[in-house]
Structure 1
């Protein structure tokens, strides 16, 4: 494993959490009064979400430097008719239709071809059972139209095996329904994201409880709240992995043991791989030890947005690494298991792929141009592999796709690792 030289003990500048930013923005829109979100993520996905909210009639005022957003909600769902463009943002396509359905009017949601390919049937079926008139493309995807006259609440069962975002959207809309909502979530994936949703809902005043696998949300109204957005733990996985493969030390302030984000658990995977990890009250630090251990089998189903980070650096380990429980990652921005496997094979690495798993064997990456599939996480994960490979070994066919969640990724990596040569970010 080749080390990339940098000063010891560098502090990474990680932007705000996308997951928290978009959840908090919707909760602010549903609350009565004006909420302030401090240090929100400003990226393609969050700007698409913010624009979608304004399209639904929600006033949003951002400071000139975009370090604070003020969102004024009316304590109810939207009214009127609107065509809402979600761009590539899966959170917009899954969180906003339930919110719209609690209001009154006709709301049509659409997005990019990439987003149109992602499934919506479980959400559409749930909204129909709660009293909405929902029409989708072929019954399964965008465009989706909601003819809204409020949602009834009550008890439903929700297939949550494809994505936790359907459940999140319903839970966040629940305080605006006519009666309390009870949801039995079958085969729930990515449970930490639901825990995050519940914590944020409670921060905005909602009453949420859980018993015997059923989540119950009362109709107590949301209240306006000021919230500071913590750094994005999924994004931090790339700099933590970079520390591990280059034998350096990277600290991310603002991500400590009380983080709302389950993806901070990625550092435990790095600990298993031989890195030194310290999770403090207000920061997390990873130090590479000069070698990467393999020979383990890890279920990353609950933190699947970070499995690509581990898989991309796994060729540098001293024994095979198997990652399991990630079948739902095939339904993200790309088929992420297939995309990782094909790119590693193209780089001369032996890979075994299953429906919900991938095994990566040790090897020296050969020069290859990574097919990003317009997927920000593919691009960032393989960039980390490139830090430990010979210069120029790893290049990206779409370096600018990182703008979905971290527009300044290449610039920040160059600041942390001066030897890194950023690629042109033109689409």
Structure 2
């Protein structure tokens, strides 16, 4: 990747509306389940971005038909059950593909060769691989690239370490209805816990039965059936626009998104912005956030359930009148980048005082100095979060095309905030 984008303060409208693309998390879960369901599903409003393109390509390599039938509608089907090898699959940079697809391959039969981008090769897989070998899969390798010799999954009682990522548990849940017997997944703790509920809800839409227990979740065997599935807007992408309204004292409305109904944990960022002084309202027209007329106030929050948007809050924090401390961030060090270190480094480049802990970040108030070159660390969320700084002082970000991972239209949408955007 190459190029730069300069974001500079402009003239925000008092009230504005922006429609963000569909949720990546929901789209990739739904694509995968539609691929192994009996019958042909139609997905409405799904995300069209690099991560979802990787899932579509992976499914196509397994024999799934994925067809754009009209704008915003995709028809998916073909396997009517777990996949059969041999097949070669590449997961690109998409954690949701790598960690969701592996268990489904384990539920299948035959040999599967699986690789990924070097960035994803660095990310851990141990907990999901251990759970699959416990159910009968033979796996050669402990990280991408690896080979799966699949003989179906036995089901039964499986202990899962979900302390690093909820995606491990979600992947095993998604595959469990394809096992030979019911599966009880037991875990002591998980980060980004709302994503477990999100996974269960998508599974239920495709006909699976998931029950929460005191020690984990129980999933009935029986497979999936096709359905019409509607994808809600992406709460992670919405976070940047909510934060923009908080920073500019304006009001943003996000059609199709509701604080009361959203299944995505990242919508909780809106609550933290309310703590800082914003106001929030739900209506049939969507979710509306009003930024405060006066100064923002710093907060002390635990974001273990919404780690993908901690950077959004960290980039609002310099403009508050008191420090902000964010905790619960240990797992962000094994994302697309070490997001905790990357966020702290960029804030320091901007002249902002920060204190970086093992799983926490404290950001002190201050006026960022203009930046002529901020790295994005090959990380889409770093690029989008630090565009918030440009609402107050000019910043130039490297490799702006990284946003294509989850929101290819981000730089076309960002001027809605009132910012001036120049790509070069």
Structure 1 residue 3 displacement after superposition: 7.2
Structure 1 residue 131 displacement after superposition: 0.6
SS for the counterpart of 2:217 is: strand
| Corresponding residue of 1:197 | 199
| Corresponding residue of 1:153 | 155
Whether 1:107 aligns to 2:112 is: yes
SS for the counterpart of 2:40 is: strand
| Corresponding residue of 1:98 | 103
| Corresponding residue of 2:212 | 210
Per chain length, whose mean CA-contact separation is higher, i.e. which structure has more relative contact order (CA < 8 Å, sep 6+)?
Answer: 2
1:245/1:288 contact within 8 Å kept: yes
**Structure 2 Cα separation of the partners of residues 381 and 95 of structure 1:** 26
Residue 83 (structure 1) aligned to one of 66, 83, 88: 88
TM-score with structure 2 setting the length: 0.95
| Corresponding residue of 1:300 | 303
- Aligned-residue RMSD, C-alpha: 1.4
**Structure 2 Cα separation of the partners of residues 59 and 193 of structure 1:** 27
**Matches of residues 367-378 of structure 1 in structure 2 within 5 Å?**
367-368=370-371, 369-378=373-382
2:138/2:148 contact within 8 Å kept: yes
**Structure 2 Cα separation of the partners of residues 362 and 406 of structure 1:** 30
| Corresponding residue of 1:44 | 50
2:321/2:365 contact within 8 Å kept: yes
| Corresponding residue of 2:363 | 360
Residues 291 and 63 (structure 1), Cα distance of their counterparts in 2 relative to 1, 3 Å cut: farther
**Structure 1 Cα separation of the partners of residues 210 and 58 of structure 2:** 26
Structure 1 residue 80 displacement after superposition: 2.2
| Corresponding residue of 1:30 | 36
**Structure 1 Cα separation of the partners of residues 291 and 322 of structure 2:** 17
**Structure 1 Cα separation of the partners of residues 318 and 414 of structure 2:** 21
| Corresponding residue of 2:422 | 422
| Corresponding residue of 1:405 | 406
| Corresponding residue of 2:190 | 188
TM-score with structure 1 setting the length: 0.94
Whether 1:379 aligns to 2:383 is: yes
How far does the alpha carbon of each residue in 1:110-142 deviate from its partner, in whole angstroms, 9 at most, with x for none? 111111111111111110001100122xx2x21
Please, which runs of 5 or more residues in structure 2 have no aligned partner? 1-7
**Structure 2 Cα separation of the partners of residues 101 and 12 of structure 1:** 41
**Structure 2 Cα separation of the partners of residues 196 and 342 of structure 1:** 32
**Structure 1 Cα separation of the partners of residues 421 and 9 of structure 2:** 15
Please, which runs of 5 or more residues in structure 1 have no aligned partner? none
Structure 1 residue 292 displacement after superposition: 4.0
**Structure 2 Cα separation of the partners of residues 236 and 295 of structure 1:** 21
**Structure 2 Cα separation of the partners of residues 87 and 116 of structure 1:** 9
Residue 132 (structure 1) aligned to one of 117, 137, 141: 137
Residue 11 (structure 2) aligned to one of 5, 13, 24: 5
Structure 1 residue 179 displacement after superposition: 0.4
**Structure 2 Cα separation of the partners of residues 356 and 235 of structure 1:** 23
Structure 1 residue 326 displacement after superposition: 1.0
Structure 1 residue 64 displacement after superposition: 6.0
Structure 1 residue 418 displacement after superposition: 4.6
Structure 1 residue 367 displacement after superposition: 2.2
**Structure 2 Cα separation of the partners of residues 134 and 174 of structure 1:** 18
Whether 1:289 aligns to 2:327 is: no
| Corresponding residue of 1:316 | 319
| Corresponding residue of 2:4 | none
